[in-house]
Amino acid sequence: MLDVSYEGTIIPILQDHCMACHNSTSPLAGYDYSDYDHLIRSVADGSLLGTIEQQDGFSPMPPDGPLNNCSVKKIKAWIETLDLDSIPVNDPSSNDGIISNCHLDTVYFQTTILPLVLSSCATTQCHDKVSHRDGIMLTDYESIIKTGKIKPGDPGDSEFYESLTDDGDDLMPPAPYKPLDNEKIMLIKQWILQGAKNNSCNDVCDTTNITFTATIWPMMQNYCTGCHSTANPGGGIIIESYNDLVTLANNGSLMGSVRYEEGYAKMPTNQQLSDCNINLLQKWIDRGLPE
């Protein structure tokens, strides 16, 4: 067996080949290799070996060409000395420094597609559990695959995808709702192309620089605006601008509803926001609602 240690063997390799791009001030893709705790999470989620061994599903690292065999062997030998079961890969309850295990090129069902479908399609009087118009119910993985007639790997033969891009009467969502924007349609296409799996990942919860435009509005579009637009104002509530949301933040109903507090309607109705998103909203309010 190779004689390897973290300090003597691993740090020098990482310093030479990885830390220029993955350090504490610039943790590209969420990975900081200058810190032991962060490094072992990359071991535990498989991304360290996956990237240096150029495995499928990982971006090959370093980007300018693989490590030499000897370095790869040393890293593998060191990984074998670790007790992987004791490493918390992702701890959703801790709010700072969560290491992302989201692959940039992968579209995840639980993380991206489900929230998007829930807020755009599973709205009242359309495809929720009560209404399921035309027998189509879009509320969870099984129902989306089955009633949306999704063929993994083949968006062109998946009714759900076709209905989003139809140029005739079958376009979904139907008028007066706005069609999904292109970016969302492309995400759904990618997800189907990648096998329409029921997958998920934990994104980096970066609470350092929260603004309405960069952080909060994209979240609203993913989770809320499908039911709170002028065309479809759930409960008479419209969330289309900074001022709309500030009003809800100031009267307490925003946090009350996303925290599922007593006395408020639970928002989103189908599935609670992640701890990270709730935390981002709270911090945004605490910091004076930066625009």
Asked if residue 184 binds ligand HEC (CB under 6 A), the reply is no
Tokens of 165: 């891009």
- State how far the alpha carbon of 273 is from the alpha carbons of 33, 79, 86, 213, in Å: 30, 35, 28, 19
Question: Which of 123, 147, 158, 274 lies at the binding interface for ligand HEC (CB under 6 A)?
Answer: 123
Q: Stretches 143-151, 163-171, 182-190, 246-254: which one binds ligand HEC (CB under 6 A)?
A: 246-254
- 8 Å CB contact between 255 and 267: no
> Which residue in 44, 41, 3, 1 sits closest to 22, CA to CA?
41
Asked if residue 186 binds ligand HEC (CB under 6 A), the reply is no
> Which residue in 99, 103, 106 sits closest to 31, CA to CA?
99
Asked if residue 195 binds ligand HEC (CB under 6 A), the reply is no
| Cis amide prior to 268 (ω within 30 degrees) | yes
Interatomic CA distance for residues 241 and 249, integer angstroms: 13
- The distance of closest approach from Cβ of residue 177 to ligand HEC in the complex, given in angstroms and rounded to an integer, is 12
- 8 Å CB contact between 108 and 201: yes
- The distance of closest approach from Cβ of residue 273 to ligand HEC in the complex, given in angstroms and rounded to an integer, is 6
Question: Which of 9, 11, 21, 201 lies at the binding interface for ligand HEC (CB under 6 A)?
Answer: 21
Question: Which of 23, 41, 47, 148 lies at the binding interface for ligand HEC (CB under 6 A)?
Answer: 47
- The distance of closest approach from Cβ of residue 63 to ligand HEC in the complex, given in angstroms and rounded to an integer, is 5
Residue 120, H or E segment: helix 114-120
Asked if residue 269 binds ligand HEC (CB under 6 A), the reply is yes
DSSP 257-272: HHTT-TTS--SSSSSP
Asked if residue 173 binds ligand HEC (CB under 6 A), the reply is no
Q: Stretches 134-142, 152-160, 168-176, 225-233: which one binds ligand HEC (CB under 6 A)?
A: 225-233
φ/ψ of 165, rounded to 5, equals -115, 0
Asked if residue 23 binds ligand HEC (CB under 6 A), the reply is no
Question: Which of 4, 10, 31, 192 lies at the binding interface for ligand HEC (CB under 6 A)?
Answer: 31
Interatomic CA distance for residues 9 and 134, integer angstroms: 62
Question: Which of 10, 40, 44, 48 lies at the binding interface for ligand HEC (CB under 6 A)?
Answer: 48
Q: How many residues bind ligand HEC (CB under 6 A)?
A: 45
Tokens of 71: 């370095």
Strand partners, 233: 228
**What is the binding site for ligand HEC (CB under 6 A)?**
17-18, 20-22, 28-29, 31, 42, 47-48, 51-52, 58-59, 61-63, 67, 103-104, 118-119, 122-124, 223-224, 226-228, 234-235, 237, 248, 253-254, 257-258, 264-265, 267-269, 273
